[in-house]
């Protein structure tokens, strides 16, 4: 008997020791179902860092990795969701501003379509139906794919989300704070925190619209999608995605104190803006030579990874070439075709450019960009003035901010002409104020206690170690609205106040009436007596 006990405890000890030995390597399900390449390029930095730290990652996304790893298992959605088929690119080049309400609806629509597209993939279906898979953590891009939160429920593990686009009100709500609409502009607006009356009114209207439609139209759609694809595979009633959202342990958000507005926060909201920026690597030899040799500096032009320069209308391409031909500077253009027609002597085109390393080159004078969030952050980091030509989504907003900060100018794509282009480019290169502002903000952006990517990985591991760390958010997340806003307490106080005034008043009146009546009857009696 004693022997048995002893051998059992030895076994226990050995098992524990082995567990302890391997407890640092976790199994993580990393999901980026949104097909736009720039989103994944950003997310993959987090994934690579987790692999580097020895964790095992199963990655569900649209873009096969170029850096395979023995501990990386990929689930690549196939076929990839065809965004341009649903949202034609031609429209993006001609449209000026879509209304904020249209933009919101577009996000919800694209969220529904891409979520459903991803969930019906046979490999994803197999993951949903899997019986023997185990994960310590689910990581999901925070981008209109709430049905995917069901994976946290399926694998009974905590969920971390990564917010590519910065803050939205619903992230605050999930963490237990109500966004103050008086000084926090809605995700889609580019106001500062000093809003005029009309701005505050519009902000409240848009934010309220967002909350109401999200709660009573969009999230129920997500619930339907979740039930359609998880319903059969998971036993028992499925939880509500709204509750799953309130159960998210941690949100890593693409925001940085030096460039974004200060806002109320929770310990579970971590800013990781700039996580993707790495030290500059060596440039390919031809580009290196091209840039080293540029006595008047270099202008770099890229429309990002989604919109291709080759999609531009030909007359625009011609205008850019003509303008570039008139510059003293050398021009690097990310153009996705080997040929472009007549190429001026000072222009070099390449299908792909190592953007971060080019922006880091000391001869770089100007970045001509569509104003995407990741490119803008890279430009900020390396202190480069920018000419922003925004096309859609958050690009208009980012551009307005950049112009406000004084390191950028903006142009409207549909209306630009050669003369304007040259003028803007030369102003940004020759007026020193732009470079000064760019350096100023760069210094602020780089001033971090720890690299944002390292911080992100620390918190991801923390969530696993502390089993979801439910204490990183406030009870506000689980409270009904009337309690959060103290409507019950205010109602009670008002009622008490009213009673405190009204009751004595009523009693005094009664008393007075009674007294008056008594006096009156007494007088009457007196008069009667005298008569």
Q: Are 42 and 374 in contact (CB under 8 A)?
A: yes
Is 90 one of the binding residues for ligand NAG (CB under 6 A)?
A: no
Does 243 bind ligand NAG (CB under 6 A)? Our answer is yes
Query: At 498, phi and psi to the nearest 5?
Result: -60, -45
Residues 271-290 that bind ligand NAG (CB under 6 A): 289
247 touches ligand NAG (CB under 6 A): yes
CA pair distance 340, 261, nearest whole angstrom: 42
3-state secondary structure 431-474: CHHHHHHHHHHHHHHHCCCCCHHHHHHHHHHHHHHCCCCHHHCC
Q: Is 95 in the site for ligand NAG (CB under 6 A)?
A: no
Q: How far is the CB of 258 from ligand NAG (least distance, A)?
A: 34
Q: With respect to ligand NAG, which residue has the nearer C-beta, 286 or 431?
A: 286
- What's 375-425 look like in SS3? HHHHHHHCCCCEEECCCCCCHHHHHHHHHHHCCEEECCHHHCCHHHHHHHH
Smallest separation, CB 70 to ligand NAG (Å): 5
Specify the residue for token string 């879509």: 98
Binding mask 145-184 for ligand NAG (x = CB under 6 A): --------x-------------------------------
* Least Å from the CB of residue 364 to ligand NAG: 16
Nearer to ligand NAG, 68 or 279 (CB): 68
| Contact residue for ligand NAG among 73, 91, 337, 521 (CB under 6 A) | 337
Helix (H, G, I), strand (E, B) or coil at 173: helix
Judged by CB under 6 A, does residue 25 bind ligand NAG? yes
Q: Check residue 334 for interaction with ligand NAG (CB under 6 A).
A: no
Given 220, 239, 297, 406, the residue binding ligand NAG (CB under 6 A) = 239
Q: Which stretch binds ligand NAG (CB under 6 A): 29-37, 238-246, 457-465, 474-482?
A: 238-246
The answer to whether the CB of 395 falls within 8 A of the CB of 370 is: yes
Q: Which stretch binds ligand NAG (CB under 6 A): 107-115, 239-247, 321-329, 429-437?
A: 239-247
Contact 390, 369 (CB under 8 A): no
472 touching ligand NAG, by CB under 6 A = no
Smallest distance from ligand NAG to CB 22, Å: 6
Q: Is 244 in the site for ligand NAG (CB under 6 A)?
A: yes
Q: How far is the CB of 336 from ligand NAG (least distance, A)?
A: 7
Using rule CB under 6 A, residue 18 touches ligand NAG: no
CB within 8 Å of 510: residues ≥ 6 apart: none
Report if residue 325 touches ligand NAG, rule: CB under 6 A. Answer: no
Q: Which residues pair with 141 in a beta bridge?
A: 162
C-alpha 443 chain-centroid distance: 23
Asked if 328 contacts 351 with a C-beta cutoff of 8 angstroms, the reply is no
Nearer to ligand NAG, 154 or 435 (CB): 154
According to CB under 6 A, which one of 54, 84, 231, 344 is a site residue for ligand NAG?
Answer: 54
For residue 361, state whether it binds ligand NAG (rule: CB under 6 A).
no
Applying CB under 6 A, which part among 181-189, 236-244, 380-388, 428-436 lies near ligand NAG? 236-244
Query: Is 206 strand, coil or helix?
Result: helix
84 binds ligand NAG, rule: CB under 6 A: no
Q: Binding of ligand NAG at residue 310 (CB under 6 A)? A: yes
Q: Can residue 315 be called a binding residue for ligand NAG (CB under 6 A)? A: no
333 vs 445 by CB, closer to ligand NAG: 333
Q: How far apart are CA 47 and CA 68, in angstroms?
A: 12
Nearer to ligand NAG (CB atom), residue 385 or residue 468: 468
How many helices (H) and strands (E) would you count in the chain? 21, 13
Kindly report the three-state secondary structure assignment for every residue of 323-385: HHHCCCCEEEEECCCCCCCCCCCCEEEECCCCHHHHHCCCCEEEEEECCCHHHHHHHHHCCCC
Q: Of 277 and 327, which CB lies nearer to ligand NAG in the complex structure?
A: 327
Q: How far apart are CA 319 and CA 365, in angstroms?
A: 21
Contact between residue 150 and residue 238 where contact means Cβ atoms under 8 Å apart: yes
Query: What distance in Å separates the CA atoms of residue 10 and residue 2, rounded to the nearest whole number?
Result: 12
> Candidates 242-250, 358-366, 446-454, 478-486 — which segment interacts with ligand NAG by CB under 6 A?
242-250
Binding site for ligand NAG (CB under 6 A): 25, 54, 70-71, 153, 239, 243-244, 247, 289, 293, 310, 337, 339, 468
């Amino acid at each position: 008997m004693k022997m048995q006990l002893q051998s059992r405890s030895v076994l226990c000890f050995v098992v524990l020791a082995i567990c302890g030995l391997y407890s640092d390597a976790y199994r993580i399900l990393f999901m980026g179902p949104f097909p736009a390449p720039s989103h994944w390029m950003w997310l993959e930095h987090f994934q690579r860092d987790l692999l580097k730290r020895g964790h095992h990652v199963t990655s569900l996304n649209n873009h096969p990795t170029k850096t395979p790893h023995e501990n990386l298992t990929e689930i690549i959605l196939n076929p990839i969701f065809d965004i341009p088929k649903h949202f034609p690119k031609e429209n993006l080049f001609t449209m000026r501003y879509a209304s904020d309400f249209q933009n919101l609806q577009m996000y919800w629509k694209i969220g529904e379509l891409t979520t459903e597209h991803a969930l019906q993939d046979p490999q994803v279906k197999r993951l949903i139906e899997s019986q023997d898979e185990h994960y310590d953590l689910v990581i999901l891009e925070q981008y209109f794919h709430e049905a995917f939160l069901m994976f946290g429920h399926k694998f009974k593990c905590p969920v971390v989300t990564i917010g590519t686009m910065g803050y939205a009100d619903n992230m605050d709500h999930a963490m237990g704070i109500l966004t103050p609409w008086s000084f926090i502009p809605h995700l889609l607006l580019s106001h500062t925190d000093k809003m005029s009356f009309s701005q505050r009114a519009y902000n409240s209207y848009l934010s309220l619209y967002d909350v109401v439609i999200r709660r009573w139209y969009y999230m129920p759609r997500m619930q339907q999608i979740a039930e359609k694809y998880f319903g059969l595979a998971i036993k028992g009633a499925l939880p509500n995605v709204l509750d799953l959202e309130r159960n998210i342990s941690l949100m890593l958000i693409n925001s940085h104190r030096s460039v974004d507005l200060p806002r109320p926060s929770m310990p579970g909201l971590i800013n990781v803006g700039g996580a993707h920026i790495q030290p500059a690597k060596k440039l390919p030899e031809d580009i290196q030579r091209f840039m080293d040799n540029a006595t008047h500096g270099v202008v770099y032009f890229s429309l990002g990874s989604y919109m291709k320069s080759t999609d531009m209308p030909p007359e625009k391409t011609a205008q850019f070439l003509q303008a570039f031909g008139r510059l003293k500077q050398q021009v690097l253009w990310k153009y996705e075709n080997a040929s472009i027609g007549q190429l001026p002597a000072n222009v070099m085109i390449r299908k792909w450019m190592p953007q971060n390393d080019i922006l880091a080159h000391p001869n770089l004078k100007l970045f001509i960009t569509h104003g995407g969030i990741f490119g803008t952050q890279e430009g900020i980091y390396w202190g480069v003035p920018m000419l922003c030509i925004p096309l859609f989504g958050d690009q208009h907003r980012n551009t307005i901010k950049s112009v406000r900060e004084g390191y950028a100018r903006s142009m409207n794509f549909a209306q630009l002409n050669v003369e304007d282009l040259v003028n803007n480019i030369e102003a940004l290169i020759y007026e020193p104020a732009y470079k000064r502002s760019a350096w100023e903000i760069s210094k602020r952006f780089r001033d971090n206690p720890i690299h944002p990517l390292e911080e992100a990985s620390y918190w991801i591991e923390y969530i696993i170690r502390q089993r979801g760390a439910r204490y990183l958010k406030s009870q506000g997340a689980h409270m009904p609205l009337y309690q959060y806003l103290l409507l019950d307490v205010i109602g009670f106080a008002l009622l008490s106040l009213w009673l405190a005034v009204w009751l004595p008043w009523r009693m005094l009146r009664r008393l007075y009436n009674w007294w008056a009546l008594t006096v009156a009857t007494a007088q009457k009696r007196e008069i009667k007596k005298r008569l």
